[in-house]
Structure 1
Amino acid sequence: MNPFSKIKKIYSSDELLDIVFHRGSQLPLDVPRRVPPSIKAKKREVTRVKFISDNLVKYLIIMVKKFPNLDEIHPFYRELADVLVGVDRLKEILASLEGSARIIKKIANKKIRDIKFSENPKFAAKARIEAYARISSIIKKLEKRLNFLIEASKKLSRLPSIDTNEFTIVVAGYPNTGKSSFVRAVSSAKPEIAEYPFTTRNIVLGHFSYNNVRCQIIDTPGILDRPMRERNRIELQAITAIRHVANVVVFIIDPSLSCGYPIERQLELLKEIKETFPSLPVINVINKVDLMSSEDLEEVKKKIDKPIEMIAIQDTGVQEAIDTAMKAGKLQGELKYAKEVAL
């Protein structure tokens, strides 16, 4: 599901030259005995230049093709790629590798012609050496770009595998409000833990079946758990990426003192989440209701629109929260589809 997960080995310029020239040094250069020495020499030099150039071109093209088409991937992954490495920069570097491959082909073809028309073996060897030097120079000039791709591949391949076609619930709220407990209570199996390379925490991804439809639920620690004013550009763009996959947001509130955040701050964040995801339904859930007196709980409920009461670690109220989220998300999807059809 992560379009970058198939990216494997990206070689540095030195590694690329070492691999290809080492293999070239072991290349069998058998030529029939009856062929004149000058012809033999030319054939050997042509074979060497062709082998080196063809293999370097092959490696460059393979490295380019390991990356998905950045104009065709889902906006969620495109946004994340832009957060991590910069999409425009990545496209520019991949295009430069293709351009370098074409230049290498052109140099090789010219030097092969020079070898074929050389007057003697000495001139043929000189043309081959010149070809090696020019081709190696082009690869070495790619050093910084290849190093960029090496680092980019590491970051992008670590992105969580989220099915962009599944109904998706995104969980928001301050830390320690019970978001992870909610994801675990909902999930039919142990939730997956994956890295978001631009945060210090791990994403928690759970799956469940609702009316025989596979759905996913996501908790993104470090992303939707504090005010927008405290975020840097990268985190804000990560939030934009999440908007592309979310069908509904479940905002979890802990009105007790156990999470360490006063109810006023939590409600401020709830307001910001609604403003950040204006087109998505936001379900308000009060967790840890067992830690409050009925009087205090009633006071909190007056401040929240249609809250659902829950004790996630006891699985109390979890199903109601999911039912409400699924209905709201489905309705929102139907309204969006009807609007698109009308247009």
Structure 2
Amino acid sequence: MKGASTLFQSWRTCSPRIPPGSFLLQTVKYPETCFCRNVQTVSYQIVKGSYIPTSQAVQPKTQTTVKPTPEIDTVGAFQKLPMVMPSVDILASALRKARRVEPTKGIANIARRERNRGAKQLDALMKELAAPLKAYLENFPKRKYLHPYERSLVELTLGDGVYEEVLKKVDALKRKVVVVGKEHASLCAKTLKKREAEESLKEGLEKLEGVFTSDGKAVDELMNIAKSLRAMPVVDLKTPTLCLVGAPNVGKSSLVRELSTGKPEVCNYPFTTRGILMGHIALNFKHFQVTDTPGLLKRSDEDRNNLEKLTLAVLSHLPTAILYVHDLTGECGTSPSDQFVIYKEIKERYSNHLWLDVVSKCDILQGSPVFFITDDNNAEVNAAPEAESYRKMGPAGAIHVSIKTKEGMNELKQRVHDLLLAQMDNLSSDELTSESLHP
């Protein structure tokens, strides 16, 4: 009542005075005063005649996090591959750690303690075997997320589908280990006697060991794959690269030894280069890359072997300048006429690359006349004036060099230097264009 009286007095003080006997209607505004508490309401929904309260709280919208797409504009994924342990070592380490697992303290009953120990050891063995397999599956990238150049290396080096097939085997082994481990750990936990628990533990250990021994070859295959891929040369996409191309045994590897730090095998038989060999050049405190590629033969892409496809992959997916090597002596095993056909095809296909032609073994050309072997099936090409000039002197503007007498090597090194500087300018302009398009 005291609060009501105070409220009434404040109303009388704030209200305006109306003279007695006046019938004038006036609109009087009073201060809005509210003394009621906030009313909490609960809504209900009727379900089969019963009232079930429903929450009025507005649930925050869950933001779907979009996983960023792995970048495929860089190379170097092979150097990040994890070290894979042999399956025998993984199994021995897991068994050793599992046998050291003790039962939970405080269990007085012998049967219960043995049952607890067996279940924990089987669970530990299962986890120790599955953990490295899970790590391998997470750290080996999917082929679709690799750079196109590395994607081609995987296919051409290992074989089509081999990489994915081995990863599937490892994943199947992990799943099998988890299923068998959980199954036998559950069986051991349900035993009633000490002897039953010991027998269940022994059976589970043997089963897990047998599964990993029989299917552990997939881990060894993955280990060999990791070794092969890590041995691939690292290519820096931002460093100017010179790629030596030509028919087999024309002297590409010898030129790489002269121009760079690379030391490829040099023998007098075709396809000496069994992969991509990398060297480096340091000129005026600037570093460049040089790659030696397998030789190309005169045939269609469908008939090319993996070594030839590897060369085409380098030219297709890497920003390289091309140093095309020609051998007109007839000693390389590919006639000048066939080399001319290969040269015209590659020149037309990769016309957007910076280009430099080199005729090797010029000391032999000057020493004695060479009897050229022509291809009768390609009479139109052989009769062309350009082909006739090619068989005698090579392409127009080609540098004639000799590794044996060092003839033309100084000019070649200078021209290579100029070519790589031009390639550096191209890479810089491409990078600026990319940054402007994707700030």
Q: TM-score, normalised by structure 1?
A: 0.76
Asked if 1:325 is matched to 2:419, the reply is yes
The match for 1:21 among 80, 95, 99 is: 95
Letter in 2 for 1:241: A
Instruction: Tell me what 1:57 maps to.
Output: 130
Instruction: Tell me what 2:86 maps to.
Output: 11
- The answer to whether the Cα contact below 8 Å between 2:358 and 2:400 also exists between their aligned partners in 1 is yes
Asked if 1:186 is matched to 2:230, the reply is no
- Measured in 2, the distance between the counterparts of 1:182 and 1:70 equals 34
Render the CA deviation track for 1:300-325: whole Å, top value 9, x for unaligned: 58762432344455233122330453
Instruction: Tell me what 1:306 maps to.
Output: 397
- Measured in 2, the distance between the counterparts of 1:326 and 1:32 equals 71
Asked if 1:224 is matched to 2:317, the reply is no
1:191 to partner: Cα distance:
1.7
The match for 1:242 among 311, 314, 331 is: 314
- The answer to whether the Cα contact below 8 Å between 1:169 and 1:249 also exists between their aligned partners in 2 is yes
Matches within 5 A, 1:69-108: 69-86=142-159, 88-108=161-181
1:245 to partner: Cα distance:
2.4
Higher helix share: 1
The match for 2:120 among 47, 50, 65 is: 47
1:335 to partner: Cα distance:
7.4
The match for 1:120 among 173, 182, 193 is: 193
Matches within 5 A, 1:288-303: 288-289=361-362, 291-292=364-365, 300=390
What is the DSSP-based 3-state SS (H/G/I as helix, E as strand, rest coil) of the residue aligned with 1:316? helix
Q: Which moved more, 1:266-275 or 1:36-45?
A: 266-275
- The answer to whether the Cα contact below 8 Å between 2:103 and 2:116 also exists between their aligned partners in 1 is no
Render the CA deviation track for 1:55-85: whole Å, top value 9, x for unaligned: 1112322443563453433322221111122
Letter in 2 for 1:238: L
Looking at both structures, which has the greater relative contact order when contacts are Cα pairs under 8 Å and sequence separation is at least 6?
A: 1
Letter in 2 for 1:329: Q
1:331 to partner: Cα distance:
6.1
What is the DSSP-based 3-state SS (H/G/I as helix, E as strand, rest coil) of the residue aligned with 1:172? strand
The match for 2:337 among 239, 257, 264 is: 264
Matches within 5 A, 1:106-185: 106-132=179-205, 134-136=207-209, 138-140=211-213, 142-185=215-258
Q: Note the residue ranges of structure 1 that are not aligned, 5 or more in a row.
A: none
Q: Note the residue ranges of structure 2 that are not aligned, 5 or more in a row.
A: 1-74, 266-270, 370-387
Instruction: Tell me what 2:273 maps to.
Output: 201
- Measured in 2, the distance between the counterparts of 1:135 and 1:58 equals 14
- The answer to whether the Cα contact below 8 Å between 1:108 and 1:131 also exists between their aligned partners in 2 is yes
Letter in 1 for 2:292: D
Asked if 1:287 is matched to 2:378, the reply is no
- The answer to whether the Cα contact below 8 Å between 1:288 and 1:312 also exists between their aligned partners in 2 is yes
Identity of aligned residues (%): 18
- Measured in 2, the distance between the counterparts of 1:71 and 1:169 equals 27
Letter in 2 for 1:108: G
- The answer to whether the Cα contact below 8 Å between 1:10 and 1:149 also exists between their aligned partners in 2 is no
- Measured in 2, the distance between the counterparts of 1:86 and 1:258 equals 32
Letter in 2 for 1:80: L
Render the CA deviation track for 1:252-279: whole Å, top value 9, x for unaligned: 2234456565433332221232245344
Structure 1 vs Structure 2 CA RMSD: 3.9
- Measured in 2, the distance between the counterparts of 1:84 and 1:266 equals 26
Matches within 5 A, 1:326-341: 326=420, 329-330=423-424, 333=427
- Measured in 2, the distance between the counterparts of 1:335 and 1:306 equals 27
Letter in 2 for 1:242: V
- The answer to whether the Cα contact below 8 Å between 1:227 and 1:272 also exists between their aligned partners in 2 is no
